[in-house]
Structure 1
């Protein structure tokens, strides 16, 4: 038996609820009954990377070919470096670990949503076939895979969407936690990611050595569909004639709502609700309960023809120092990398602004950062993931030699 402390998500009227409810639960032997529920919180917190709980993953959330798979809950750092819980999935490859243990690939997943049931280790991937093919390719080469859910997805509190340093802490600490559960994992690790996770992977690359300390041996990173300079789109929202980077597709509309929720979570002092119209308040609140899938938020946005131009009553740029703080919050760092990293971009990507990615790469190279770039002209946002393997897998393999 264990004690569960449940911290409510933001109420639908936008107020934070600080009530903690204590309950005692009996854990089923297979744990299948609790998959999908927010994981237990423990008090007081432990050092970052400390494991709080583990449970076996059901087959539907397990990479085909994995010989063992667990959901782990662990301590990390959240908004303003406060102690926070995160969770994730760990997948072990078949065979005997090499000397030093299985090298680790930390998988930074793309946008799944904001609600607890959207967590990767609870609901599984949005693009199942794509992700299983991609992660299976790494496992077949003898890598263990650790996939963080990020703070606030499947754990107490709201998810600070696109908060780069919070995502980086979640990812680094997931590797630390996984090594506590599986001693056969190596200290050597790299991070790979797509979309939201592409940005998280590259931001993690900037901080991995610092955050990992002597416990880990970070080798490098891969990011595809990296959301470069998306902060410029956010800064334009609410202006009389907003600059629309690539147009407001339904997917872009969803990202905008998730970003507004993330800002509301990360910067309570900004009072984001005061910038939202009643229409905007309704849709941002709704977004916090929905996953990024065609049968949840995607279906609503398309059927209701949600207009992102009606979400704000005034521009967020009215906030003093907004642009600098926003860039620090969600901007991809342009310098400070100590290990090689790879960026891949599809020419048909309409979710991420390709000129922004090209600008990021040019600035990284101008700053003498160890970046390798590959362009896939006939691939869209999702298609770039597996198309990049011909380049990214040899790139990563070399980092572990």
Structure 2
């Protein structure tokens, strides 16, 4: 494999004064992955720090991992799966390219490697790099996913410009946004399609009801995901004064969310209901939330495969069915696959063979 020597440095946040100056997808640093973040099916693995842009086009730094399968490089280079991970937290030190991610997500990426795809996997800007992670900011995440492909190819020219995006949960949301902007944002690449698993959609309709006294309605993790969204929105839109809308306990947890990973945040939340995060209603945030987390229902110019587990309690199936109905009403072409026995994480394994068959056809 050829690693571009001019980009080699010790992996980690850059130290020079203005690292975000430069084109999106350009590499700031690249180095070997820590063994904790390596995948068993990878012949090589690298951690990169690269430039990307936020929701409004301002420069940010992100990091991520590049994995290359074993064997000779195909004549047209390794086709690329750009993977967008699910929720692991907002704090530095949680980023998968440093500490590894969810085991099931690692196994999923490994299956793509063993099928002959290179895998690039963003951490998202602000997770292990300067600034806050804009949790569920779809446009920012989409930029980061696309720019991860650019960065991977800049570091390793053996990667093909042919690529698809795949993601779970938070990453499924990111995959849809990536699918919506990929060809216009990076016309020099050859984007072929998207695999979006358990994507949270229509949350801009749900979250505004999360004022004082509102329960979780049986949605697993709703308090945590709402908290993370409020933290991200507070950073993206300081004019909204999100902290003033939070209860004392909500403000305490918002601070904690930027210091520890998702498992510890969930432990500290315990059985707390979403309404306990707030001191007053937030229904006036609906327009801001629509801009921040809303998922487009039209404008997709490449195939979109959506996978949903029927027993998912984190992203309940009715939300995904509603989104599918909205896509259909907008005359958007898509492929929805339902998996009767799959839960939120289980949809990764349940959907893989279907996704692989679709993706193989798209990149051939």
Partner of 1:263: 233
Structure 1: gaps of 5 or more residues: 1-28
Structure 2: gaps of 5 or more residues: 1-7
Which residue, 160, 175, 181 being the options, matches 2:149? Answer: 175
Partner Cα separation in structure 2 for residue 218 and residue 199 of structure 1? 17
Partner of 2:204: 231
Partner of 2:278: 312
Partner of 1:247: 218
| Alignment length (residue pairs) | 356
Partner Cα separation in structure 1 for residue 332 and residue 15 of structure 2? 41
Aligned: 1:67 with 2:43: yes
Give the TM-score normalised by the residue count of structure 1.
0.85
Structure 1 segment 2-401 matched on structure 2, within 5 A: 38-40=13-15, 42-43=17-18, 45-125=21-101, 127-128=102-103, 130-214=104-188, 216-238=189-211, 242=214, 244=216, 246-247=217-218, 249=220, 251-293=221-263, 296-302=264-270, 305-318=271-284, 322-401=285-364
Deviations 1:329-364 (CA, angstroms, capped at 9, x unpaired): 101110000000100000110001211100111121
Partner Cα separation in structure 1 for residue 192 and residue 9 of structure 2? 36
| Shift in Å, 1:79 | 4.1
- Evaluate the alpha carbon distance shift between residue 94 and residue 123 of structure 1 in structure 2; reply closer, same or farther with a 3 A threshold: same
Paired residue secondary structure (2:318): helix
Contact 1:338 1:370 in 2 (8 A): no
Paired residue secondary structure (2:186): helix
| Shift in Å, 1:232 | 2.0
| Shift in Å, 1:366 | 2.4
| Shift in Å, 1:308 | 2.5
CA RMSD of aligned residues (A): 1.8
- Evaluate the alpha carbon distance shift between residue 248 and residue 389 of structure 1 in structure 2; reply closer, same or farther with a 3 A threshold: closer
Contact 1:152 1:158 in 2 (8 A): yes
Partner of 1:14: none
Deviations 1:16-67 (CA, angstroms, capped at 9, x unpaired): xxxxxxxxxxxxx995xx7xx6454651511111100011002221111211
Contact 1:236 1:243 in 2 (8 A): no
Partner Cα separation in structure 2 for residue 195 and residue 212 of structure 1? 24
| Shift in Å, 1:86 | 0.5
Paired residue secondary structure (1:118): coil
